[in-house]
Amino acid sequence: MKQYFITGTDTEVGKTYVTAQLLSAGGRLGKNTLGYKPVAAGCERVNDEWVNEDALALHTASSMDVSLDIINPIRLIPPIAPHIAAQEAGIVLDEPSIVAGLNAQQALRPDLLLMEGAGGWRLPLSNDLFMSDVVAHLNLPVILVVGMKLGCLNHALLTAESIVSSGLTLAGWIANDVSGCMSRYDENVNTLKRAMPAPLLGEIPFENAPDEGMLAAIIDKLC
């Protein structure tokens, strides 16, 4: 079993889309894949249950048939910072709860388990706990999704620096073209290829299906 934590340079940079693409690609290659979104904020009522759109995407993309509760055990209704939503709901976001959900997935023995964070790397879970602390304690290798837009160089390099300084392995980064109109896109990708302390795993185009060969190559590297 291979497992990774997927984070991003910010919120709305395509973490869920990239994670779902990797889970689906792994499934097409005959792998048993599972996505894990431990904490999700922003839910809608669907068939008498609260459903988060990102968690549903991971549920659909996972090749193993499990309940949505296995994919996303902690759901917070308002689309705001999770620690604030949890405080308002009287819910404690703690490491044991997140680890328990991961243990439940590990017991199913998937070939590839992708745990996706919320927001960026230093996501607060409470006043004194960050998601990055949980990932560090679990010692999970990290994949960084870089939303290719103005400012991404700083965000990507600072995030990579924080991941490495936590003693974790940055397995690689994925360039996600979030707009299709970034000025000097290629030059920015090349700058990151030179400066990042981990390899570029692949590039996700804007509003076009990713190349199957590229996805297969990523899965081969990860598994």
CA 143 to chain CA centroid, nearest Å? 8
Looking at residue 48, what is its pLDDT?
A: 86
Can you give the residue range of the structural domain that contains 118? 2-222
Looking at residue 108, what is its pLDDT?
A: 97
Instruction: Count CB neighbours of 156 within 10 A.
Output: 26
Looking at residue 101, what is its pLDDT?
A: 97
- Nearest 5°: the CA angle 51, 173, 160 is 100
Number of domains in the chain: 1
d(CA 1, CA 10) in angstroms, rounded, equals 28
Instruction: Count CB neighbours of 80 within 10 A.
Output: 13
pLDDT digit string (tens) for the chain, length 223 residues: 999 999 999 999 999 999 999 999 999 999 999 999 999 999 999 988 999 999 999 999 999 999 999 999 999 999 999 999 999 999 999 999 999 999 999 999 999 999 999 999 999 999 999 999 999 999 999 999 999 999 999 999 999 999 999 999 999 999 999 999 999 999 999 999 999 999 999 999 998 999 999 999 999 999 9
Give catalytic residues, as residue numbers: 37
**DSSP letters spanning 2-50:** EEEEEEESSSSSSHHHHHHHHHHHHHHTT--EEEE--EEE-EEEETTEE
CATH of the domain at 60: 3.40.50.300
Give the DSSP letter of residue 93: -
Contact 87, 127 (CB under 8 A): no
